[in-house]
Chain A
Amino acid sequence: MALSAGETGVPKRAGEGAAKADAAIENELMAKVLLIEDDRETAEEITSELTDRGFEVEWAADGIEGLGKARSTRPDAMIVDRLLPGMDGLTVIEALRKDQMRTPVLVLSALGAVDDRVRGLRMGGDDYLTKPFAIVELVARIEALLRRPAESRETTLRVGALELDLIERTAKRGDRAIDLLPREFRLLEYMMQRSDQLLTRAMLLEEVWNYKFVPATNLVDVHMGRLRHKVDGPDEVPMIHNVRGAGFILRTGS
């Protein structure tokens, strides 16, 4: 078992060290990520960030090379720039899908170039991110892609002392019943399916509320504040954590 850099090494930025270490804990299996990006500087930034977080990163500078590397190295996830020399990023993905490779893909697209084909990625289980992006957002989304919740028939979700009954639509923490509004229930359900995983505001907006726009107000924070107030009682150990400048994590325990 390989130890990830984030777990043992000194974090590069002190303020984000805790979040980084937490995100890295789950990368024990050294997930392989293939990055297809033609801009060398961007590629280096992404590579060093992902390596710090315990990923094994392979880099290809154009579509054709990327397609070859995807076929030979069989990565666990791919980050593909939409505009690539040689072969368009979406064409690379289509070629891989024809080979029955279901590797999850995160497409990087310019802000003005998000069309229906790119939007369609989310429906196919993949994801996209518009350039320029925050590096935390990229890492959070790659982790989300790598740990897509398995289709489960469980009717009760359990995270630590937290229990969510999907049939009865009730929630408990230990013996304490939590009274949730429907929107709070939806949010908690989504977070429990992805416990110990950093969820950014944009991800929550897209997935929980299904909104495709960035609201002017900090909507997510307000909703999250309400939920946290109900989930974490005054004498209890907090489970919902705010990662400054990034998003939220539902932590299993201590």
Chain B
Amino acid sequence: MKGSVVPILLCALAFSARPAWADRDPAAPPLGIQPVSTITLAQIVARHRLAVGKPDARPQTRVEQWTYTDGTRSGTQTTYRSGNDYREDRSLGPFHYAHGELGGKTWEQNSNGLTRFLSGIHERTDVNDYALAHLLLASSGAQLLGEVASPVPAYVVKVAPQNGYVEYAYFDAATYLLVQDERAESGQRVVWTYDDFRTGNGVRTPWHIHESNGLPNDDQDWKLQSATIGQPVDPSKLAVPASSDPVSLTASTVSLPARIEADRIILTAQIGKHKVNFLMDSGSSGILLNRDVADATGVQSFGTMTEITAGQYTASDAMIPKIDFGVATMTNASAETAPYSEWTSSGTPIAGLMGYDFIAGSVIHVDYEHGTVQAIAPGSFTPPAGAVALPIRLDDGVPVIAAMIGNAAGTNFLVDTGADRSMIFSTFARAHPGDVSDQGLGEEITDSLPFVHHIDGVGGKVEVRPVQVSALQIGSTRLPNWLFDVSQDAPSFEGDDYDGIIGQDVLRNFDVYFDYQRSMLYLVPNDRYRQRWGG
């Protein structure tokens, strides 16, 4: 079930502490391993292959019906496979998700019906999946660590491919089947267990899979109810579903009820009988609503789950009947609720985040200088003249662009309207120490404030240090001597594959157009830009 749709929320407002459960390094070897000299890795692999078997001559198609639980919620999952193509549809209460691969292109559809193709930002997962399937290749980094007596007697193989995760695979000492797998992802130890193995088309596969990251209410569980093998699969069952249009506009171009306070984009919507302020947050992969607001406006919540961005918090899925911006409306919008709220320096309450599902519904034009926000019907949008045009990738529902720090190129910088300042993540900083070296201002700040700096975000804080780099280059725009916050040891916040965040300090110097449907971002320099840097 790895690679399935996992709702994430990358909110750059948030930031820090290691979660309480993370007492051990998530990449540390399992406890209780005893050395073993009676068997080799090659022998284990050979016996594992024998145990799994080989597919018979029937067509490589499968149709599977699963029951599924996610924390406190339960639902169903249907999988169609034909060769390398597959489609997986999951239903949890009123929510429906899907993902798949067709013709070599992977895609996802979220619970608001928005479909997007994936560019491969998270290729580490693929790297590990390949390594696990090819343990005898040197590139897998596989190493037999020994054997354990529990949870079942098993041989433990460490898998550590370059550019991948550290992973521990447990092969049952009696059956040689893979019965448990532990992987260190984003600062968490994710554990999959497999049992109830059954044979179909010559291959033994588990009919029961359990996933746990150790956090309350985050366990997932799959039980296979039926499997049809070797029968033709209707191509329509593998098709990529059309993307829905979750936002209705009253005209081809509308001015949203918005204001920009201290570079934060605040949208005011009517929910039930109340006005609610949302932060338009491109760093959020969905819509987040304050739990108290949800309860008070009668928004129905479903289940509970534990999430970590800057810190750990409990969230629920929710269905908001109507989010009404007057000129733009979302109906039956899938969202999350969490104990998130904040107040701006002028006392404006913000009770939610308006992220991907809203931004993707139209082209959003943010005029930072004049404090206005427009929504433009994608069909009537013409890219502005003189704009810096940047392709974006939306694998996680957040816009990712390429940028250069000094002379170091990074392909995965998150454009985040919710982040006060731009950030460089620790992995990028470690990989490019020369380009992420301070040009003076960071040292001057440290000289007068030699303390650990934090930035606030959803659920907690993230530790940072100020570093002024020689230049930040986005497309053809080069911004000299840029001050970044460099995050320190915040794996859950950073994620595994991002290089950093482009925040409001950059964006406020432009008219910004988010065109998610064409996967483009346009930056038009404004007067602020011209006054500072000419042009």
**Do chains A and B interact in one complex?**
no
Binding site for B on A (CB under 8 A): none
